[in-house]
Structure 1
Amino acid sequence: MKKVLACLLMLWGLLSEAKAQWFTAEKLESYKDWPRYSVVKQFYEARGWQPAWIGRDSLQKELLTLLHKSGSLALNEGDYQQGFMSGFYPERLTLRTVDSTETELRFTDAALHFFSELKVGNKSPSLGYNGLPSPNVFPSIASALQAHLLPGELYSLADDLQPQAKAYKNALQLYNRLLQTMQAKGFGEVKIVSSKTDSTNKALLRKLYLLGFTDSVENRSTSNELQKRIKEAQTVFDLLSDGILRSTTLSALNVPVSQRLEELKAAVNLFRWTAAMKEATPVLFVNIPSANFLLYDGEKLLLESRVIAGKPSTPTPTLASTINEVILYPYWNVPNKIATRELLPSIKKNIRFLELGNFQVLNKKGRVVNPYNINWRSLNAANFPYVIRQSTGCDNALGLVKFNFPNPFTVYLHDTPGKILFSSSRRFYSHGCMRVEKPEELAHYLLGGNRIAIDTLTAKGCINQQAPVVVKAEKPLPVVVLYSTVWHTAEGTIRFYNDVYNKLNFIKATAYDP
């Protein structure tokens, strides 16, 4: 008996020694070309170089099950170790101690990759300029994964990492509704030709069903009930909600379900990214297709405002930056293209155009010159050595407040004297800058305790020839200008917007790798 016990103790010692030496930093060196190598290394350093998956059947199955559900989460199962994990379906659901170090590492890398994309999305927003740090979630994901390596805990981790905002949940729910529709037997796209709003319009009935506005293809509703469903669809597609099948409504309904699904897939991942941004700092999101902005502090909405964005011919660029100053009574330094293409012809016709518009002319040294001493007829786009500046006043194109943030496009947020345009549902009239319906409210937030400045401005109103007053933002505010044809209301309701700049290829943005 003593000999047997001694043998068992010796065997246990050998197994313990083997376990202690199972994995080392040297073994990991051959995988340093992996994009997540550093975080994989940190993961195993924290584990004392012990395996996380080998011999733990339930954990293996949980991870494989989650990866297999990637499609319903608007993610791509094949992205995680490029299909390696799918080789474990269905014949081989568990690892064994004889499996290689590489297999163990691939499971870990797939887990870190999957959970990070649940947190921050699998695509980065397409930005023409990015002056903000991207969310780096991998360190926290690695720690969270370590803490959830228990039976049943990986499912909880997947739930915990996803945003809790209504907009995200609603977008994911609608995405799965359309996904199930497309996967159903007998699915086919349909085009509506007739503008009839009764039960004889079979294509209309089928499309409303495919998009989830009715529960059955064989809809026996009255014309009034059918019009109600059409109005619901018009609201979702940001159209006049009158129940009439005019060309704009037909165009929106005839967008293929497959395209709507891709738009939603991109939006779900964008909402993950915006949620991660909101966790880090208060942030202002401007969405171009919806022509509005939302200011958040965490998940708390502080301010919502309509904006006027650029015309398709002079589009507003996407960007990420930080609003660092507020300018009261701003000058408008007219961009050279606008000055030569739009103002110069009017000046040549009547030089008093400058006086009537409250414009000044500056030379190369920045000094105001007498416009009557200039030979305007000799000037053109290739020969225009001046800057035209609109002075402060009620007619100034920038209104009374301007919000500056660094960017290479010379665009900014600003007030406007043309308030009536905010009542339009298609607010794309500017040369690229963004006009704000609620500039005073935004200024109040940025100036914090220095509200006397904006209150003084409000009390004084328009003052001609008032010198601009530059006030540093007490609360520098990250601003992200996005282009997403799927966006949400302040209440989290999902809306589809017109692809005003014809940029739907944004769906194919490069994979986001934090």
Structure 2
Amino acid sequence: MKLFLKRANALALSSCLLALSLGVAGAPASAQVTAFKQAVAESASVDDAIATFYRQTGYAPLWTGEDDVHRARRAALFEALETAGLQGLPAGRYPVDRLLAEMRDARTVRDLGLVEAMLSRAFVEYATDLRSGVLVPARVDGGLKREVDRPDAARLLAEFSKAEPIQYLRALAPASMQYRALLKEKMRLEGQIAQGGWGARVPVEKLEPGNSGPAVVALRDRLIAMGFLPRSSVARYDDDLRRAVLSFQAANGLETDGVAGPSTITAVNIGPEERLKSVLVALERERWLPRERGERHILVNQTDFSARIVDHGQVTFQTRAVIGKNTEDRRSPEFSDVMEHMVINPSWYVPRSIVTKEYLPKLRRNPRAVGHLEITDSRGRRVSRNHNFSRYSARSFPFAMRQPPGKNNALGLVKFMFPNQYNIYLHDTPQKHLFAHDVRAYSHGCIRLAEPFEFAYALLARQEEDPKAFFHRVLDSGRETRVNLEQPVPVHLIYRTAWIGERGQAEYRRDVYERDAKIWEALSAAGVTLPAVRM
């Protein structure tokens, strides 16, 4: 009822609307129009783009007319602002009560002009937040290199002025299936929080098939509440519970052994409030991604340690990945780019930071250290190992370092290039043992692939009749060879601790770099809230 009354109030403004349109407020109509324009110009001047829109339209009202078109715009805007929290936006950020009060109290045409500009500012803030996110990524964490397309306010207002209001406002949200699925998960978690959560925590560190007792009952009840197990009163760790544990482990990136060990129990004990925070962060991250991701694109989810090729929304190839080590200078960044080519039998041109931080100290102690690397001057000529490297500092060291192609090359036998300023790419590695670990954060920042050859075959399949034979023909030559992709492929390096899997099951991962914790802190400071627990 409260929402209905607010919307009804939004449809009707004070009688000064009639004064503006009919000139019956004790002054000539032209003077009132001038006063309205001056008020709009004054109030809109705090935002250059909004001021530009009104200058371009001759300060014609977008919101404060009394006809059905303007009434429909106001109603649609207030409905959107009142329900902003449903999208995971900070509901208190949009001054609904203040706007209604200003509209109710407007007594002069000047007041009406101020209301007009206030409505436009509220619309622009809401539209920008829903379309491009509440936060500016780079201000939250240095690893968030994502460049977000934040629309121009004048363009938003111009588009809205020509559109059906409700449809336009709804279309501002990402249209991806992932965004819609996350909204459903948000509503599900909010309902469970309101009902008191998932029950008692599991009080032990390990449970396995054959166990029984109160701890097994607690495990059973939480898995039932989460939706992994049908209702049951069995107090024994039976096959049904083991299968539920397997499903839970798969959905949380844990080793799928059916035993509720320490990692599994820790994950089971995470409450719906923490999971909801991950979902709200994922919604914000989804708003940051490009609207057009490519009919074929590569998706690297750092928290899942995986790389996927996606064709028309379906995963057609997937492999395990290693990401950057969790230190300040090695964490893998997040951004989007376009893969243009691969290099088979690559050389490794050692980044300057690694040369000076890791290898130069060794060369100072022993000029024949790191013998698998060539040292070259500015002309590419090899430098003798008899050189006195001890006289150089990190700043003055004049040489480069390179590892020639070969099976022991740090990049393995193939790398996949999407040239970028961060010098990040996907590549093979000789350190195959790392892929057996659950948490795979070991690299200097680049993404290592467990199945790089198969990844290459999948990419080449669109341009080679026999991609495998082609790849190995080049590989067997031993020569460093660039192979261009005839159809470049967008690459999205993302970081999601919550997403909805292909079968509609919510999946959660650890916040490896603690980036999501920072994003949640920023969203919370902006006004995004969790629901209260019903007592």
TM-score with structure 2 length normalisation? 0.72
1:179 aligns with 2:195: no
Contact 2:145 2:333 (C-alpha < 8 Å) held by counterparts = no
Distance 1:104 1:478, change over 3 A: same
Contact 2:197 2:272 (C-alpha < 8 Å) held by counterparts = no
Q: Tell me which residue corresponds to 1:100.
A: 112
Give the counterpart of 2:178 among 149, 167, 173. 167
* 1:249-272 Cα deviation digits (max 9, x unpaired): 122223343222111101012223
* 1:292-322 Cα deviation digits (max 9, x unpaired): 2345577566754432212224322334444
* 1:226-253 Cα deviation digits (max 9, x unpaired): 4433333222211123332211012222
Distance 1:472 1:17 in 2: 68
Q: Tell me which residue corresponds to 2:40.
A: 28
Q: Tell me which residue corresponds to 1:368.
A: 382
Identical positions, percent: 22
Q: Give 1:431 shift.
A: 2.1
1:427 aligns with 2:440: yes
Distance 1:414 1:138 in 2: 41
Q: Tell me which residue corresponds to 1:392.
A: 405
Give the counterpart of 1:73 among 84, 87, 96. 87
Q: Tell me which residue corresponds to 1:329.
A: 345
Distance 1:389 1:377 in 2: 20
1:293 aligns with 2:307: yes
Q: How does 1:471-490 map to 2 (within 5 A)?
A: 474-489=486-501
Contact 1:123 1:266 (C-alpha < 8 Å) held by counterparts = no
Q: Tell me which residue corresponds to 1:496.
A: 508
Give the counterpart of 1:193 among 193, 203, 216. 203
Distance 2:456 2:521 in 1: 34
Contact 1:60 1:95 (C-alpha < 8 Å) held by counterparts = no
* 1:333-371 Cα deviation digits (max 9, x unpaired): 2345655747976998895973xx4x4332454311344
1:254 aligns with 2:264: no
Q: Tell me which residue corresponds to 1:4.
A: none
Q: Give 1:86 shift.
A: 3.0
Distance 2:488 2:180 in 1: 30
Distance 2:162 2:202 in 1: 53
Q: Give 1:20 shift.
A: 9.2
1:86 aligns with 2:94: no
Distance 2:493 2:162 in 1: 36
Contact 1:360 1:390 (C-alpha < 8 Å) held by counterparts = yes
Contact 1:326 1:443 (C-alpha < 8 Å) held by counterparts = no
Q: Give 1:204 shift.
A: 3.6
Distance 1:353 1:485, change over 3 A: same
Q: Tell me which residue corresponds to 2:126.
A: 114
Unaligned runs of 5+ in 2: 1-18, 527-535
Distance 1:115 1:206, change over 3 A: farther
Distance 1:29 1:317 in 2: 43
Amino acid at match of 2:408: D
Contact 1:397 1:417 (C-alpha < 8 Å) held by counterparts = yes
TM-score with structure 1 length normalisation? 0.75
Give the counterpart of 1:307 among 305, 321, 329. 321
Contact 1:331 1:396 (C-alpha < 8 Å) held by counterparts = yes
* 1:468-494 Cα deviation digits (max 9, x unpaired): 334566555554433332245466653
Q: Tell me which residue corresponds to 1:3.
A: none
* 1:186-237 Cα deviation digits (max 9, x unpaired): 5698543224575723654564466454687xx5256433443333322221
Q: Structure 1 stretch 342-351 or stretch 139-148: which is displaced more?
A: 342-351
Q: Structure 1 stretch 197-206 or stretch 253-262: which is displaced more?
A: 197-206
1:318 aligns with 2:334: yes
Distance 1:175 1:109 in 2: 28
Q: Secondary structure at the match of 1:327?
A: strand
Q: Tell me which residue corresponds to 2:259.
A: 244
Distance 1:117 1:390, change over 3 A: same
1:274 aligns with 2:289: yes
* 1:13-60 Cα deviation digits (max 9, x unpaired): 64795699378664333234545x514752784597124245455654
Distance 1:12 1:131, change over 3 A: closer
Distance 1:484 1:438 in 2: 23
Distance 1:11 1:167 in 2: 47
Cα root mean square deviation, aligned: 4.6
Amino acid at match of 1:310: G
Amino acid at match of 1:333: Y
Distance 1:158 1:382, change over 3 A: closer
Q: Structure 1 stretch 427-436 or stretch 200-209: which is displaced more?
A: 200-209
Distance 1:41 1:440 in 2: 53
Q: Give 1:507 shift.
A: 2.7
Amino acid at match of 1:165: S
Distance 1:423 1:47 in 2: 66
Distance 2:302 2:500 in 1: 12
Amino acid at match of 1:169: R
Q: How does 1:48-67 map to 2 (within 5 A)?
A: 49-53=60-64, 55=66, 59-67=73-81
